[in-house]
Amino acid sequence: MHTLSLSKGLVFLFFVLAFLSLLPNLNTYALRNEESRRLEIAFEMYSSGNYMQPTFMGELYFNKPPLFNWLIIFASNLVGWGELTPRVVSVFFLFLTCLSTGFFTYYLFRKLDLSLLASLVFLTFGNVLFFYGYLGEIDMTFTFFVSAFIFILYVSLDKPYLFPLAGFLGGLSFLLKGFPAFGFFFLTLFSLLLQRKDLRPAISLWSFSAYFLLFVIPFLWLFATPYPTKYLTALISESSSRFEAQRSLLHYASFFLIFFKDLLPHSLLLLVALITLFKKKELSLPHTISSLLYVLFFNLLPYLIALSGGRYLLPLYPIMAVVVSYYYQIALEKGRFAKLFYVSMVFVIFLRLAYGLFYFPYYSSRDESEKVIAYKLYKAIPSSTEVACECPQRHGVCAYISLMTGKPTKRIIYVPNAKAVIVCPEGKPSLLLR
């Protein structure tokens, strides 16, 4: 077990086990964070048949484009409506991101063992395995599309006929989160051209085809909506709001600490690997790795300035995984680091499995769980009674009521004849019968 070349099977086994560790209780774990919002918006879109203009609790919703909602609706045809519906989308694109990371690594180094390792590293980043890899939010789907067009842009400098594919994926990325997709696209292209010191790839027929697709896809969708100006203004505001907070040295220190925490265990293991290679005088910076670090630096810069870390950096994790795995595969030839790496993978996978088997049921069954609260309220609602919700701050409760009744729960202004209203005096959901 001293060399990675002798451990392809073991690395693949770890990858399979890590992926399987995501699955226990995924279909019953109570909705968290923005999951309920994404699910409710998709459910309202499905129920109304209006696939261009999202609504949330009946109100027009402009903060995000609709592609993720469309994907949730597609998933509902496979698994029905419930906690699993948005999570199927995230897990599917997590798998695709692992594959694309492995394929890109193989393109760079022509080593199957290194490709498997890069996929494993990406999957076992803490912020992926324990949070956004399975949560039914936009981030993992966005990560796939963005990292895919970054990989393709890298390859396109030598194979320019791939440029249009990068533009196509970039246009679809806009339909997930709006303007950040453009930022990733052009910062990546700029960093690659800066290294090449040659602007010609950016002004070729292939590249102009990419720009056309990049902009025309959002344009066609935007002008198919009933309020394109409002939508555009909201998306601009959503992106620019990240740059408005006050900053200090403490904020920047916190940014890097959170960044380090999100990448555990690999942020720590990478330090050990680099120190090991430095002591052995085997630490180097080949051109391929420096090129990827250029891309990382220029894409990280806006988020560092805005102090927007966490999930906003997820689209860069696949590139980080390639860099990390490169140094791992050298350090793994050293017996001590190999043991540390494999023991760490066993521990992380076991911890994630325990998290799903034991913490998920505990979290979902607590009295303060929105799932439990919604069920109690639902049992008190007379059958066939129309329900309204005046509790947007606890939208998870309203989303569950929508799923239980089979109809979207809207604010009372949109259902004035509702006989049951979910209200939140002092933030505590309760039922008001009219």
Q: How far is CA 136 from CA 30, 40, 93, 393, 409, in A?
A: 11, 12, 11, 19, 20
Per DSSP, what are the bridge partners of residue 402?
Answer: none
Residue 31: pLDDT band (50, 70, 90) is very high
Among the three residues 308, 325, 359, which one is the final residue of a domain in this structure?
359
Structural domain contains residue 38? no
Closest CA to 211 of 158, 167, 157, 262: 167
Compare 120 and 333 and report the one with higher pLDDT.
120
- Are 108 and 152 within one domain? yes
pLDDT at 337 over 60: yes
> What span, in angstroms and rounded, lies between the C-alpha atoms of 230 and 220?
15
Residue 245: pLDDT band (50, 70, 90) is low
- Are 375 and 333 within one domain? no
Structural domain contains residue 67? no
Structural domain contains residue 320? yes
- Are 252 and 286 within one domain? yes
Average pLDDT (204-213) is 97
pLDDT at 83 over 50: yes
Structural domain contains residue 365? no
- Are 157 and 233 within one domain? yes
Among the three residues 359, 391, 415, which one is the final residue of a domain in this structure?
359
pLDDT at 314 over 60: yes
Contacts of 41 (CB under 8 A, 6+ apart): 54, 55, 56, 61, 69
Residue 427: pLDDT band (50, 70, 90) is confident
Compare 105 and 427 and report the one with higher pLDDT.
105
**Is 432 exposed, middle or buried, given 0-12, 13-18 or 19+ CB atoms closer than 10 A?**
middle
Residue 330: pLDDT band (50, 70, 90) is very high
Domain span at residue 23 reads: 4-30+83-359
Structural domain contains residue 71? no
- Are 130 and 208 within one domain? yes
Average pLDDT (184-205) is 94
- Are 214 and 183 within one domain? yes
Compare 360 and 245 and report the one with higher pLDDT.
360
Average pLDDT (223-237) is 95
Average pLDDT (56-66) is 96
- Are 239 and 355 within one domain? yes
- Are 282 and 337 within one domain? yes
Count CA atoms within 13 Å of residue 358 on its CB side.
6
Residue 250: pLDDT band (50, 70, 90) is confident
- Sheet with strand 430-433: strands edge to edge: 387-390, 420-423, 430-433
- Are 99 and 16 within one domain? yes
Closest CA to 54 of 408, 389, 420, 391: 408
Total of domains in the chain: 2
pLDDT tens across 364-385, in order? 999 999 999 999 999 999 988 8
What is the reported pLDDT for 192?
Answer: 96
Lowest-confidence segment of 116-120, 177-181, 304-308 by average pLDDT? 304-308
Structural domain contains residue 225? yes
Lowest-confidence segment of 70-79, 366-375, 417-426 by average pLDDT? 417-426
Residue 4: pLDDT band (50, 70, 90) is very low
- Are 353 and 231 within one domain? yes
- Are 214 and 284 within one domain? yes
- Are 335 and 425 within one domain? no
Structural domain contains residue 118? yes
Among the three residues 331, 359, 387, which one is the final residue of a domain in this structure?
359
Residue 5: pLDDT band (50, 70, 90) is very low
What is the reported pLDDT for 6?
Answer: 46
Structural domain contains residue 54? no
Average pLDDT (89-109) is 98
Average pLDDT (400-421) is 94
Amino acid present at 420: A
